[in-house]
Structure 1
Amino acid sequence: MRNPLSKKIVEIQPSGIRKFFDVVNEMKDAISLGVGEPDFDTPWRIREEGIYSLERGRTFYTSNAGLLELKEEIAKYLERKIGVSYHPKENIIVTVGGSEGIDIALRAMLDPGDEVLIPQPSYVSYLPCTVLADGIPVVIPLKEENKFKLTKEELEEKITDKTKILVLPFPNNPTGSIMTKEDLAPIAELVVKHDLFVISDEIYSELTYGTDHVSIASFPGMKERTIVINGFSKGFAMTGWRLGYACGPSVIIEQMLKIHQFAIMCAPTNSQYAAIEGLRNCENEVQEMRRAYNQRRRFLIKEFERMGLQCFEPEGAFYIFPCIKEFGMTSEEFATRFLEQYKVAVVPGTAFGDCGEGFLRISYAYSLEDLKTALGRLEQFIDGLRKEK
């Protein structure tokens, strides 16, 4: 019998996040700090609109690119939040989560052999989606001493005549790092100089602490060479609604729409109606969630400092990325032992790239009560490890 499988697919490794998530689901009394999902219910206004849309029989396909009314609200939202103007009909496509936007952007833009620069540690999908689009992923290792920001020097070192796209994953999953206006300015200059394109994943744009999110699309010469990826999963606590969007030059959006038409048809209809309500009337609820995350963030920073566990201060998303190199074991070994002995799941830093070795991703999208319990167990674990040394 012939091999029914694609070699390309077989060689792609499954997500390192899900491995620990699946184990903890079967473990009694375990606490998971591993999945990047808000612990808040979707704001009631949004849920109510979703219910109402079903009651009204709004269960048919929408336009492939999404409801015009939703795209108009997205355009207003982005004008307000990042200062960039997009035409609802020409520059915006509504997708099944931000992940679909990343996938179809890469497939629409890459020819075989084109290189994609991927700063790591970062979201697990960028590299396999590049491979699936026949591109060549080129990893840029980010450094803790730079607060896991991308520097001009690191970018310039990796650019070749085959480089076509730079992925900008900020605010960052898993590190919580952000890029300020001052950080992005030299990156934008290099992108223009070398005639590159950018996929800017801004799914955590609502979750920054102490400074507002800045999009590279807002810099001179960047709107026409940037695809902004965003959505409702994180900031609006709508993970299961599966709704995102991509914004960019019409010449790219048109080709992304082709792939979306053939593979997806359209994003869920009731999710689109619900998202309109979220953009119009849920700013207060988003701010309330942001304040809660910030409280948890400050608690974790203080506790890690008290434990003597090295960790830079994250300024975005809802993750913290402590260093565990002092214990002389791999991230995988540390996370496995911690789960087996203390029933707490965290994600090894290597799930987000090889340069994540020696770190853990801990999500604080969980209640303070769960975080306090989990950190009590972590303190017992590391105290035991220090006594073993």
Structure 2
Amino acid sequence: MAMLSAKVPGAVSLAWGLPSFRTPQYIREGVIERLNQDPDAGKYTLPDGLPEFRELVAAKHLAETGIQVSPDDNIMITAGNMQGLNTMFHTMLDPGDEIILTDPCFPSHIQQIILFNGKAVYWPLDEANNWRLNLETLPSLITDKTQAIVLVSPSNPTGKIFTKEELLLVGEIAFQHNIFVIIDDPYSSFTYENKEKFFNLASVKKYQEHIVYLHSFSKAYAMSGWRLGYMIMPQELKQEAIKVHDATMICAPRISQLAGIVALSSPSPHKEEYSSILAKRRALMAERLTNIPHIFSWQKPEGAYYMFPQIVTNHKNSTSFAIDLLNNAKVTVTPGSAFGPSGEHHVRMAYCVDEDTINIAFDRIENYFSIK
């Protein structure tokens, strides 16, 4: 949809989850300083990343989860969570192996699993209860081919924050079946009034050998173009994953790792600022959606920065609806079908864009459906 939108003059986009924020000044300035001072700034790093960076990641993980991990044995620096997940799926999947994905889920998870001849197994969320985890159905999805369950909380595309009780049950089910839980975490900095609800399953020591935790700098640090993240995983799994990582890209870009060092060596006041701005944008989009109940039905997201409204106006499917909206109203949204079977008849709207873009988009939607 982003590529189609680029071909429509004057189109406004709610499709791409790209934060409108600029990379914080202290990170930009810190990188400039290191580029000027570090004679090795333009060179490769070790495949698993700069030791200084991995040590900072270990300290961050300990502060956030209470779990001690080894910078050498458990941590690998990645070019964002997508590259990290690509490496992980490549490492653990033989042809026909299965990965359980919440449904709806992030489309790239589906695509990557298929690329490695794996099978994406859909675990439908309970839409009637604001997309909660349906724990009763999970055990029946696990087979001798199952390698892992992937969780994103807050979720993309629904914005759902899964509860501690739910996540502990997922962890126990995975533990009992000797499979992994892969936690893809781009959005935990954006939980708004629901901070107390957020729980990181990687904080449970019992499940440490069954958890792969990935964190991205793209959203919380407005560093999507820097391509930077990290993975924390059991030692045996890292020994295999690093072979794939080294063979495909050698290492994450050193300049981005220097930026990560600056980011983790400093306070992060920008996170509260970003969260406050996003909360206002969420309220604006909620207000605009409330005004058009004949087009969309919606539920308030608890975190991340997406709305996932259901299309209630007459339509064939979410893809034709989105393309029609782009061509005729010059508004870009993402078809819900991209996010799995349960996403059909929905669209994803990102409120990480500025308020003017949100207002222009909804003005056009209202106008289009008033004359249609």
Q: Say which is worse superposed, 80-89 or 177-186, in terms of deviation.
A: 80-89
- Once the two structures are TM-superposed, the CA of residue 384 in structure 1 deviates from its matched residue by 4.2
Does the 8 Å contact 1:151/1:187 carry over to 2?
Answer: no
What is the aligned counterpart of 1:222 among 204, 207, 223? 207
TM-score (norm 1): 0.90
Q: Is 1:179 paired with 2:166?
A: no
TM-score (norm 2): 0.94
Q: Say which is worse superposed, 328-337 or 243-252, in terms of deviation.
A: 328-337
What is the aligned counterpart of 2:147 among 161, 164, 168? 164
2:63 maps to which residue?
Answer: 80
2:31 maps to which residue?
Answer: 50
Q: Is 1:257 paired with 2:257?
A: no
Partner letter of residue 344 of structure 2? E
Where 1:152 maps in the other structure, the secondary structure is coil
Partners in 1 of 2:306 and 2:356 — Cα distance? 17
- Once the two structures are TM-superposed, the CA of residue 335 in structure 1 deviates from its matched residue by 1.0
Q: Say which is worse superposed, 186-195 or 96-105, in terms of deviation.
A: 186-195
Partners in 1 of 2:129 and 2:205 — Cα distance? 25
Partner letter of residue 100 of structure 2? L
Partners in 2 of 1:215 and 1:374 — Cα distance? 35
Does the 8 Å contact 1:121/1:174 carry over to 2?
Answer: yes
Where 1:55 maps in the other structure, the secondary structure is helix
Q: Is 1:345 paired with 2:328?
A: no
Structure 2 CA distance for partners of 1:296 and 1:82, relative to 1, 3 Å: farther
Q: Is 1:65 paired with 2:48?
A: yes
Partner letter of residue 362 of structure 2? L
Does the 8 Å contact 2:171/2:181 carry over to 1?
Answer: no
1:154 maps to which residue?
Answer: 137
Partners in 1 of 2:337 and 2:202 — Cα distance? 30
Partner letter of residue 21 of structure 1? A
Where 2:58 maps in the other structure, the secondary structure is helix
Deviations 1:313-337 (A, max 9, x none): 1111111101103423311121111
Does the 8 Å contact 2:31/2:262 carry over to 1?
Answer: no
Partner letter of residue 61 of structure 2? L
Q: CA RMSD in A?
A: 1.6
Where 2:76 maps in the other structure, the secondary structure is strand
- Once the two structures are TM-superposed, the CA of residue 282 in structure 1 deviates from its matched residue by 4.3
- Pairwise mapping of residues 67-216 of structure 1 onto structure 2 (< 5 A)? 67-212=50-195, 213-216=198-201
Partner letter of residue 314 of structure 2? F
Deviations 1:80-108 (A, max 9, x none): 22333221111100011111110111222
Partners in 2 of 1:332 and 1:83 — Cα distance? 44
Deviations 1:344-389 (A, max 9, x none): 111110111222111010001111111111111122234445xxxx
Partners in 2 of 1:144 and 1:99 — Cα distance? 26
Partners in 2 of 1:169 and 1:381 — Cα distance? 34
- Once the two structures are TM-superposed, the CA of residue 162 in structure 1 deviates from its matched residue by 2.3
- Once the two structures are TM-superposed, the CA of residue 148 in structure 1 deviates from its matched residue by 2.0
Where 1:164 maps in the other structure, the secondary structure is strand
What is the aligned counterpart of 2:300 among 313, 327, 331? 313
Structure 1: unaligned runs, 5 residues or longer? 1-19
Does the 8 Å contact 1:230/1:246 carry over to 2?
Answer: yes
What is the aligned counterpart of 1:373 among 351, 356, 360? 360
Partner letter of residue 255 of structure 2? N
Partner letter of residue 272 of structure 2? Q
Q: Say which is worse superposed, 254-263 or 149-158, in terms of deviation.
A: 149-158
Structure 2: unaligned runs, 5 residues or longer? none
Deviations 1:26-85 (A, max 9, x none): 222211111111100000111112222332341111111111111111122222223332
1:294 maps to which residue?
Answer: 279
Partners in 2 of 1:369 and 1:84 — Cα distance? 43
1:14 maps to which residue?
Answer: none
Partners in 1 of 2:92 and 2:166 — Cα distance? 26
Partner letter of residue 207 of structure 2? M
Where 2:297 maps in the other structure, the secondary structure is coil
Partners in 2 of 1:157 and 1:384 — Cα distance? 48
Partners in 2 of 1:251 and 1:217 — Cα distance? 17
Partners in 2 of 1:352 and 1:326 — Cα distance? 20
Partner letter of residue 214 of structure 1? F
Deviations 1:200-227 (A, max 9, x none): 1111121212223322222352111010
Partner letter of residue 362 of structure 1? M
Does the 8 Å contact 1:95/1:101 carry over to 2?
Answer: yes
Structure 2 CA distance for partners of 1:43 and 1:116, relative to 1, 3 Å: same
Structure 2 CA distance for partners of 1:160 and 1:384, relative to 1, 3 Å: farther
Partners in 1 of 2:203 and 2:167 — Cα distance? 10
What is the aligned counterpart of 1:303 among 288, 299, 308? 288
